[in-house]
Structure 1
Amino acid sequence: MLSMGDQEKHDVAIVGGGVSGLYAGWRILADARTRGKPVPRVTIYELGDRIGGRLQTWLPFGPDGGIRAELGGMRFLDNQQLLCTLLAELGFARQDFLPLHGHGPNLRLLLRGRGTALTTTTPTKRYKVSSSARDKQAADVLAEVITEVLGTEENRLVLKALIGKDCPADRREWDAVKAELTWHGRPLWDVGFWNLLSDVRNPETYQYLCDAFGYYSLAGNWNAAEAMEALHLDFTPGLHYLTLAEGMQALPDTIAEHLTRLGGSVEPGTRLAGFDVGADGRPSLKLVTGPSTRTTVADQLILALPRRSLELLAPTAAFDLPGDDGLRRLVQAVTPNPAFKLFLWYADRWWERRGITQGRSVSDLPIRQTYYFAPDGPVRHSAGLLMASYDDARAVDSWHGLCPTERELATGRDELHTAMRNFVQRHQLGGAAHDVPRPPPHLSLATEGMRRHATSQLARLHGVPEDHIPDADVGAFADWTPDPYGGGWNFWNVGVDVRTSMARIKQPLGPGTRVHVVGEAYSGLQGWIEGALTATEVTLQRHFGVRQPDWFPTGYYLGW
């Protein structure tokens, strides 16, 4: 058992101040208020000095500057109903939503040294792809693979019997059939997506998919059933990406405001070292704030944490990952994916001289995806932001070799703040230099090596000499691989019964226990805010007796 000492007591203790933890606390308090129940004591403990988890926004030119650097989650889909209705309930209006364009004029595709328009009709020219994939966009090839797998005789019978159609149209229908789908006589959950792709297309086609899609992780060897559902639903034609005009961090900030008005509290800078469970079944938390350690007892404990954060907890009799094989397999049923972003600010939007105004270019270089941003707020100016690199998986390793030392990282935020203030003052952007907010804690000044490599790769992507790409005025990077995150998002592993695992992780110590895990990592919509919300909502309704509120989308399917 943990040393008890002087104990605080809570009705609900929540560890993790990201969207999942904040949403859980707010919903519990709002439900009690609506039903006329005594208001429970709810406290959220957050390791960092700010809330939001992987939603972090920097507005260096001020709230009206129209340039947002989204360090983590930067968008949502217009069909993600729980998030959209939640935003309306929290007071966001439709004009607070902005499109996040992935398309635009003159965007670039660079594969194996061949630069073309992103919309080229011959994207596979440098690859000896299977005949069925020749001259097709990566998304179209993946769609054909999914159709082929669903079209086997065995799977057609499953689909007809369970949903009466050839292809699932939404999450409810995918959940109805996934456990019964097979490939070469094996449950589809037991098949790796990379292995499946290799069964139906040649190695060159697989490499083309990895290179041209922009994400290595999506074509990785994760759970094939989950991969097929995600690719089929998230990249369906006609969907639109949206973002928040105030920045995505406005979502957790607003939930926190509502939570505190209802009597909840948030304690930043507080680390959960570990927890145990007493003879009465109540969790006991060992909390560390600066040099101080204290113990808190709660009736219920919600761990709004990803896999890596759970692995960092000290082993105890109740939660012993090294010693409890079943618990360890449950927590490690998902794998975090490395993710990295490199931001470059310029006084002049040089890409517009090449006819590019917005959207995303793609390459097989370490920069992978490049996004172009111009100011969209009321204050207009010539400066722009290039998210020069949005990359994942093995591409992140290239940038790790250029990262600052630990000593440099310790001063990186302050140096970035100074550099941006000088930039704003020099070019009179968005207001006085002293109004530039401090960078979020996960953002640091880019090294000279990062900027140099990015400039070289940007020149190759755009087909110009390096001296045609100006030096960036300010550079910064966000790396989601280090602790306590372990990655930017999580994917279900091969061989995992996802339905059973999603049910078990909500009470990882067993039925009737008072410890719960929520969040994006173990959801049916991994990598999305919607996944964090749905997994949390299921837990609250199933294990806390929280009722579905009036603002909830009618007939909305939450999943497992």
Structure 2
Amino acid sequence: MQKDIMYNTEMDEALKVIDKGLKKTISPKQIIVVGAGMAGLVSASLLKAAGHDVKIFEANNRVGGRIETVRMEDTGLYLDVGAMRIPYSHTLTMAYIRKFGLQVSPFINRNETDIIYVNGRKTTLKQYEKDPSILRYPVEMNEVGKTSEELLLLAVQPIINFIKKNPEKNWDIVVKDFGRYSTGQFLKYHPYQYNTYFSPVTIEMIGVLLDLEGFLERSFVETLRFLYIMQEESGFCEIVGGNDRLPKSFLPQLEENIIYNQKLMKLHQHDNGVTAFYRNEETFEYSSITGDLVIVTIPFSTMRFVEVDPFDSISHEKWKAIRELHYMPATKIGIQFKSRFWEEQGQLGGRIITDLPIRYAYYPSYGIGEKGPAMMLGSYTWSYDALLWDGLSKGDRIYYALHNLATILGGQVYDEFISGISKSWTLDPYALGGFALFQAGQESELQPAIVKPEGRIFFAGDHTTLYHGWIQGAIESGIRVAVEVNE
């Protein structure tokens, strides 16, 4: 099975590639790269520098894929509607940030002043941690007095501690032992201490307060990975000026190699190469290009609409993975306010946690203490919560997000409101989902096929790694595929 997380030796090799590049090729190839997200940009930049002829075809009119920063014309404020936080522990991502001389600032993921508004009751994280009964969840006697986090950690901390002892060896053991569980099944059927099981109310509370409701039906190992990263003491950062500055930093080297508004429609594998057929997204004209090989970095959700000829030039196992890999819906709503009125109430970065439809909101971590307008992530939802918003008009998304925020923060939100934006990754035709996430049992079943090249077709993207939903995964896969192709 593919290694779970890159280990030290592999990480060192990858960092060396970022720093020094690949070995110069003695047999240059004509390489077609599909998609100008991070995986496509990383692989193309490395292969071009190694002497190959590279062409990148991008369906959108910008680079970055699911790293997208929306900038407001009236105020100059911005919001990362895609990837928004970068763990300092993600060394490949940090290496590229350093390479391009980009500045980062801390992303404040949580604060003791975070507001919790659940079951119609409002409190702060600090008060809740002091007295968990404040939210009136009717938990069992043995669960009283413990926060949702404390309860969850009773069940998962021993496993996380076991992994930390020897990640290289122990992740594989954990995947083998727990890979068949969904998160919900694990919490329901796995005793967390002295043969004690969680009550249904506690599982509900864990889901609501720790933003794991969307994970309950997904693979428990995916949840473990998420918690493993969230526990990193080094914390998170964001790129000053917007995270899209990272993909845009590849443009000086690659701009001449990128063709925009070109959507992949069909791949034809033949004896001496691969022909890719494209549709221009503005004129709807079709064109084709032939190369020695193709690197496909688009999500499998969008790959389902690409015709491959001959059909069996891609293995049965790969088609199964393309068809079955689950994509998590994700939707964000940004609200522009006249001032940082929440800072007067002591909210300096951090978030709101609620069971209202907005679910999670994040105050901006940048510009704290500044006067003038500010941009807030008024709602960040996953899974079924995200699909609710996707069914609303753009105007109604802003209306209900404001309404929820007013319930929590007071009527001042209406006085302070300037404008709003929203982004559904499920409704984005070039993403068709937020990020890949295994269902129970899928990791050992699908992962070996996901990474495997098929003839002259190679695959990259965060969905081909085990860093689902992180920039690190896209970079890791871009390096992996560039090395495969160069050799």
TM-score when normalising by structure 1: 0.74
State the Cα deviation string for residues 36-84 of structure 1 (Å, max 9, x = none): xxx221011000111110111123369xx78431110011011111111
- Tell me, what secondary structure is at the counterpart of 2:352? strand
Alignment of 1:480 onto 2:420:
no
> Partners in 1 of 2:112 and 2:149 — Cα distance?
19
- The equivalent of 2:38 in structure 1 is 19
- Tell me, what secondary structure is at the counterpart of 1:116? strand
Shift of 1:199: 1.1
Shift of 1:457: 1.1
Residues 268 and 138 from structure 1, CA distance in 2 versus in 1: closer, same or farther, beyond 3 angstroms?
farther
Residues 398 and 422, structure 2, Cα contact 8 Å, conserved in 1? no
Kindly provide the amino acid, as one letter, of the partner of residue 261 in structure 2: G
State the Cα deviation string for residues 197-240 of structure 1 (Å, max 9, x = none): 111322111111111013432x3222223322332x21215231
Kindly provide the amino acid, as one letter, of the partner of residue 408 in structure 2: L
Shift of 1:544: 3.1
Kindly provide the amino acid, as one letter, of the partner of residue 106 in structure 1: T
- Tell me, what secondary structure is at the counterpart of 1:143? helix
> Partners in 2 of 1:374 and 1:535 — Cα distance?
29
Alignment of 1:103 onto 2:93:
no
Kindly provide the amino acid, as one letter, of the partner of residue 449 in structure 2: R
Alignment of 1:270 onto 2:279:
no
* Match for residue 76 of structure 1 among 81, 86, 106: 86
Shift of 1:543: 4.5
> Partners in 1 of 2:29 and 2:418 — Cα distance?
49
- The equivalent of 2:162 in structure 1 is 166
Matches within 5 A, 1:174-323: 174-180=170-176, 182=177, 188-200=178-190, 201-217=198-214, 219-231=215-227, 233-236=228-231, 238-260=233-255, 265-280=257-272, 282-289=273-280, 290-318=283-311
Identity %: 19
> Partners in 1 of 2:204 and 2:168 — Cα distance?
32
* Match for residue 528 of structure 1 among 467, 470, 484: 470
Aligned length: 447
Residues 108 and 365, structure 2, Cα contact 8 Å, conserved in 1? no
More deviation, 523-532/283-292: 283-292
Alignment of 1:456 onto 2:403:
yes
Residues 535 and 137 from structure 1, CA distance in 2 versus in 1: closer, same or farther, beyond 3 angstroms?
farther
Residues 59 and 68, structure 1, Cα contact 8 Å, conserved in 2? yes
> Partners in 1 of 2:222 and 2:364 — Cα distance?
32
Residues 105 and 355, structure 1, Cα contact 8 Å, conserved in 2? no
Gaps of 5+ in 1: 1-8, 33-38, 152-164, 183-187, 404-445, 546-560
Kindly provide the amino acid, as one letter, of the partner of residue 273 in structure 1: M
Residues 106 and 365, structure 2, Cα contact 8 Å, conserved in 1? no
More helix by share: 2
> Partners in 2 of 1:396 and 1:460 — Cα distance?
20
Alignment of 1:399 onto 2:389:
yes
Kindly provide the amino acid, as one letter, of the partner of residue 544 in structure 1: N
- Tell me, what secondary structure is at the counterpart of 2:417? coil
- The equivalent of 2:71 in structure 1 is 59
- The equivalent of 1:122 in structure 2 is 131
Instruction: Please report the RMSD computed on the Cα atoms of aligned residues, expressed in angstroms.
Output: 2.7
> Partners in 2 of 1:455 and 1:170 — Cα distance?
47
State the Cα deviation string for residues 97-143 of structure 1 (Å, max 9, x = none): 11111234632001111111122223454223355543434333332
Kindly provide the amino acid, as one letter, of the partner of residue 107 in structure 2: L
- Tell me, what secondary structure is at the counterpart of 2:201? helix
Shift of 1:451: 2.9
- Tell me, what secondary structure is at the counterpart of 2:164? coil
> Partners in 2 of 1:128 and 1:373 — Cα distance?
34
Residues 104 and 505 from structure 1, CA distance in 2 versus in 1: closer, same or farther, beyond 3 angstroms?
closer
Residues 342 and 171 from structure 1, CA distance in 2 versus in 1: closer, same or farther, beyond 3 angstroms?
farther
Residues 11 and 140 from structure 1, CA distance in 2 versus in 1: closer, same or farther, beyond 3 angstroms?
farther
Residues 267 and 78 from structure 1, CA distance in 2 versus in 1: closer, same or farther, beyond 3 angstroms?
same
Shift of 1:172: 3.0
Residues 374 and 384, structure 1, Cα contact 8 Å, conserved in 2? no
- The equivalent of 1:428 in structure 2 is none
- The equivalent of 1:553 in structure 2 is none
- Tell me, what secondary structure is at the counterpart of 1:516? strand
- The equivalent of 2:16 in structure 1 is none
Residues 375 and 381, structure 1, Cα contact 8 Å, conserved in 2? no
Kindly provide the amino acid, as one letter, of the partner of residue 310 in structure 2: A
Shift of 1:450: 2.5
- Tell me, what secondary structure is at the counterpart of 1:356? coil
- The equivalent of 1:351 in structure 2 is 342
Shift of 1:319: 6.2
- Tell me, what secondary structure is at the counterpart of 2:231? coil
TM-score when normalising by structure 2: 0.84
State the Cα deviation string for residues 250-286 of structure 1 (Å, max 9, x = none): 11110232334xxx60001001101021133x22111
